[in-house]
């Protein structure tokens, strides 16, 4: 059960004044360094304002050098040292990377790829989420850790494993096959029901016994799509089940210590359905690394915003991001001046109450030695360390923000894992569709208009929003169709796009014409989808250029208006964007093509019709992102400069907590700078 972070003891200083604060820290890997360095570490942590570190994430081989032989002396010493320095510990269960002795004795814990290859040790996370042998050893370690440190005064939170599923989400081993069958049995009850759901009359796939069913291993051609979808669901659930198993041990031994695990909401594989995991932890944590490119900052904002949505609006913990370059992109670029601080504060703007980096001290050896850290190879006499120390002070000054919640926007983007997984399966009208990119492009359009939009999930309450954009909402079970219809008849404005409403939860097409489950609501009918070839584009009547997709639309409902049509291509003269108005004042809009980075004018029209406006002065729109947090003491405006030039914002009318402002309420944002203004409610 998620609780408010402000009730967690790690948001409060260890001693003295116990008012909430924002936490600050890093992954700390002292085992990579001789003991002499540890003393310097804690001294520098104090200098930088560090309040919490994640410890022992990859320490299994050090803690249990041989089966049942424990070596906790070094960790005891580090825990004591941290506590004596006033630094809390988010203690890992240390199970993320199994030690060599375990693999030597039990090679059957190693994952197997789709093509049947064993994933060997040598990296990390080489374990099967469904291996009973791995689980037994890991839970023994969890129990030992929990029992040893249950009363340690530094222990503020538990950090289960690390980035569950980062490298091992899809395992096709025999253990996985067994567990998959159990999962399917629980879902369908009978083989016949599974046959129906999987449409196995196709290509002679009818099963007569559970034993015949396998994970979707390398096949001669397109594997059964519902089998693939269920395997994705199962793989997410298998890791969630593992998370629960560790958590249950921790809750039994230390019922008062909150448990978390670091999600990768937008990173990694997309394989974990996090909205569905959120209830399993006491608070949500997320890791984020900037994707290089023109939408890098938008993507950061999107990820933070979605994390807040997944956390149900509760403040959350940014468990990892980087001070500068990472080591795993094709080219690992250093951050430019201002970016370190801006990136951190943008997460805070979207509800993070803790900011932590991977990692504290940059490694001298190993695969991550070129990954930036709070203390770089150059040592503390460096721009990076000076900047992280300044950020520590800034976060201390932002203590009044701790525990505040984001103010709900009037518009939202619906991001749905089921639609993500299913819309990108093979054997579709196009293999070029990228679900996340489509959603991100809508988000960028909101940012360019200076209009706040929340990123929400299918579990969120739609009725809080005047406008909901649901791009490529491909999987629409009956219940979701009903909810969307109720939303629009209740006055809400829904915007959806191509390839939406097409299939039910079994990936079976809703018959009678597209967009299937949403056809009546949208008041249109499509007989044939018409994706565009690579490099092909079409012009629309409003002057915009579109790619990827078109549809042959027939308007059915008399209350549908054609907002713009196709002027070139095979659909020339036919509707491209339609809008049905409903009696209660709501509407349902369908965008049949991909406008990518040219969505602005259309979105502006749609928002105007719903009377949703920017809260920023006209000059700042597009150049500044606004995010708002609120508590009893007031409203906090986070103003983030999206450009490389200074931006002057007149009339913000509040007390400037971060950044430069004058008495008249004018705030000047440095290039890539952030200001936080405290206003009355
Ligand atoms: C992930 C992991 C960390 C580290 C970073 C590097 O987020 O959790 O251990 O490898 O990536 O960016």
330 Cα to the center of ligand 1, angstroms = 16
Residues 531 and 494 in one domain: yes
Q: How many CA atoms lie within 13 A of 11 on its CB side?
A: 25
In-domain check, residue 74: yes
pLDDT at position 681 is: 81
Whether 3 has a pLDDT exceeding 70, the answer reads no
Give the end of a domain, one of 403, 436, 452. Answer: 403
pLDDT at position 18 is: 60
Which secondary-structure segment (H or E) carries 631?
strand 624-631
pLDDT at position 1 is: 46
* 59, 97, 320, best to mutate for ligand 1 pocket (most atoms within 8 Å of CB): 320
| pLDDT (tens digit per residue) in 13-69 | 444 556 789 999 999 999 999 999 999 999 999 999 999 999 999 999 999 999 999
Residues 497 and 420 in one domain: yes
CA distance 276 to 641: 33
Residues 124 and 69 in one domain: yes
Residues 295 and 423 in one domain: no
Between the alpha carbon of residue 642 and those of residues 210, 393, 454, 600, 667, the distances in Å are 54, 23, 18, 17, 15
pLDDT at position 475 is: 98
In-domain check, residue 396: yes
100 Cα to the center of ligand 1, angstroms = 21
Residues 74 and 164 in one domain: yes
Read off the pLDDT of each residue in 175-198 and give the average, rounded to a whole number.
98
pLDDT at position 680 is: 86
Structural domain harbouring 665: 621-679
Residues 45 and 126 in one domain: yes
Between the alpha carbon of residue 229 and those of residues 197, 422, 466, 498, the distances in Å are 11, 7, 32, 20
Q: Whose CA is nearest to atom 2 of ligand 1?
A: 163
In-domain check, residue 297: yes
Please report which confidence band the pLDDT of residue 269 belongs to, taking 50, 70 and 90 as the band edges: confident
Residues 522 and 637 in one domain: no
| pLDDT (tens digit per residue) in 87-131 | 999 999 999 999 999 999 999 999 999 999 999 999 999 999 999
pLDDT at position 9 is: 57
In-domain check, residue 81: yes
In-domain check, residue 592: yes
Backbone angle region of 186, left / alpha / beta, with phi > 0 → left and psi within -120 to 50 → alpha = alpha
Residues 388 and 433 in one domain: no
Residues 394 and 421 in one domain: no
pLDDT at position 7 is: 54
The CATH number of the domain where 416 resides is what?
3.40.50.880
Q: Which of 7-11, 51-55, 289-293, 512-516 has the lowest mean pLDDT?
A: 7-11
The CATH number of the domain where 634 resides is what?
2.60.40.1180
Give the end of a domain, one of 403, 422, 442. Answer: 403
Whether 6 has a pLDDT exceeding 50, the answer reads no
Residues 569 and 426 in one domain: yes
In-domain check, residue 508: yes
Is 672 near ligand 1, meaning CB less than 6 Å away? no
245 Cα to the center of ligand 1, angstroms = 23
In-domain check, residue 200: no
End-to-end CA separation in angstroms for the chain: 30
Cis peptide before 359 (omega within 30 of 0): yes
Domain count within the chain: 3
**pTM, two decimal places:** 0.97
3-state secondary structure 112-138: ECCCCCECCCCCCCCCCCCCHHHHHHH
Is 504 near ligand 1, meaning CB less than 6 Å away? no
Residues 383 and 476 in one domain: no
Read off the pLDDT of each residue in 256-281 and give the average, rounded to a whole number.
94
Is 358 near ligand 1, meaning CB less than 6 Å away? yes
Please report which confidence band the pLDDT of residue 664 belongs to, taking 50, 70 and 90 as the band edges: confident
Catalytic residue set? 163, 320
Of all atoms in ligand 1, which is nearest to the CA of residue 326? 12
Residues 583 and 654 in one domain: no
In-domain check, residue 244: yes
| pLDDT (tens digit per residue) in 589-602 | 999 999 999 999 99
Please report which confidence band the pLDDT of residue 8 belongs to, taking 50, 70 and 90 as the band edges: low
pLDDT at position 4 is: 46
323 Cα to the center of ligand 1, angstroms = 13
| pLDDT (tens digit per residue) in 329-382 | 999 999 999 999 999 999 999 999 999 999 999 999 999 999 999 999 999 999
Give the end of a domain, one of 609, 635, 659. Answer: 609
The CATH number of the domain where 322 resides is what?
3.20.20.80
Read off the pLDDT of each residue in 520-528 and give the average, rounded to a whole number.
98
């Amino acid at each position: 059960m998620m609780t408010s972070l402000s009730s967690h003891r790690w948001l409060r200083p260890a001693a003295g004044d116990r008012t909430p604060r924002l936490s600050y820290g890093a992954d700390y890997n002292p085992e990579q360094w001789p003991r002499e360095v540890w003393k310097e570490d804690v001294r520098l942590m104090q200098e930088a304002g560090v309040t919490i570190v994640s410890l022992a994430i990859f320490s299994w081989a050090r803690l249990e050098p041989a089966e049942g032989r424990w070596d906790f002396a070094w960790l005891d010493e580090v825990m004591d040292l941290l506590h004596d320095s006033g630094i809390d510990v988010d203690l890992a269960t240390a199970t993320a990377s199994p030690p060599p002795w375990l693999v030597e004795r039990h090679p059957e814990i190693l994952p197997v790829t789709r093509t049947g290859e064993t994933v060997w040790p040598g990296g990390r996370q080489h374990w099967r989420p469904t291996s009973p042998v791995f689980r037994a050893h890991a839970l023994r370690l969890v129990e030992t850790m929990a029992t040893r440190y249950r009363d340690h005064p530094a222990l503020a939170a538990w950090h289960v494993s690390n980035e569950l599923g980062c490298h091992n989400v899809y395992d096709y081993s025999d253990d996985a096959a067994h567990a998959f069958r159990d999962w399917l049995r629980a879902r369908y009850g009978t083989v016949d029901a599974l046959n129906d759901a999987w449409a196995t009359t196709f290509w002679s796939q009818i099963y007569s016994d559970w034993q015949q069913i396998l994970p979707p291993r390398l096949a001669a051609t397109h594997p059964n799509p519902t089998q693939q979808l269920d395997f994705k669901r199962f793989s997410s659930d298998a890791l969630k089940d593992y998370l629960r198993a560790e958590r249950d041990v921790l809750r039994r031994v230390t019922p008062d210590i909150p448990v978390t695990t670091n999600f990768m909401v937008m990173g990694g594989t997309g394989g974990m359905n996090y909205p569905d995991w959120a209830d399993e932890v006491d608070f949500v944590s997320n890791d984020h690394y900037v994707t290089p490119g023109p939408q890098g900052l938008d993507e950061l904002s999107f990820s933070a915003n979605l994390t807040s949505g997944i956390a149900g609006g509760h403040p959350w913990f940014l468990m990892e991001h980087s001070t500068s370059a990472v080591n795993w992109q094709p080219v690992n670029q250093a951050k430019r001046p201002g970016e370190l601080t801006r990136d951190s504060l943008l997460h805070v703007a979207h509800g993070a109450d803790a900011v932590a980096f991977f990692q504290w001290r940059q490694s001298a050896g190993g695969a991550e030695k070129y990954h930036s850290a709070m203390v770089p190879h150059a040592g503390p006499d460096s721009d990076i360390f000076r900047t992280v120390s300044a950020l520590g002070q800034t976060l201390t000054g932002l203590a009044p923000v701790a525990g505040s919640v984001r103010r709900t926007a009037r518009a939202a983007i619906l991001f749905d894992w089921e639609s993500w997984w299913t819309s990108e399966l093979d054997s579709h009208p196009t293999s070029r569709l990228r679900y996340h990119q489509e959603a991100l492009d809508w988000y960028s359009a909101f940012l360019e208009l200076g209009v706040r939009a929340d990123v929400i999930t299918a579990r969120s309450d739609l009725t809080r929003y005047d406008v909901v954009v649901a791009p490529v909402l491909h999987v629409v079970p009956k219940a979701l169709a009903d909810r969307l219809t109720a939303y629009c008849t209740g006055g809400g404005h829904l915007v959806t796009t191509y390839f939406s409403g097409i299939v039910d939860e079994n990936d079976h097409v809703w018959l009678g014409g597209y967009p299937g489950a949403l056809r009546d609501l949208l008041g249109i009918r499509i007989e044939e989808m018409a994706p565009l070839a690579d490099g092909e584009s079409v012009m629309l009547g409003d002057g915009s250029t579109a790619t990827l997709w078109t549809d042959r639309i027939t308007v059915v409902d008399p209350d549908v208006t054609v907002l713009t049509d196709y002027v070139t291509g095979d659909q020339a003269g036919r509707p491209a964007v339609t809008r049905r108005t409903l009696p209660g004042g709501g509407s349902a809009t369908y965008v049949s093509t991909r406008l990518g980075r040219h969505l602005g004018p259309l979105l502006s029209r749609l928002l105007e019709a719903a009377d949703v406006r920017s809260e920023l002065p006209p000059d700042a729109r597009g150049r500044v992102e606004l995010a708002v947090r609120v508590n009893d003491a007031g409203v906090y405006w986070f103003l983030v400069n999206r450009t490389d030039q200074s931006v002057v914002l007149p009339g913000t009318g509040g007390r400037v907590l971060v950044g430069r402002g004058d008495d008249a309420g004018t705030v000047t944002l440095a290039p890539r700078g952030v200001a936080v203004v405290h206003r009355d409610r």
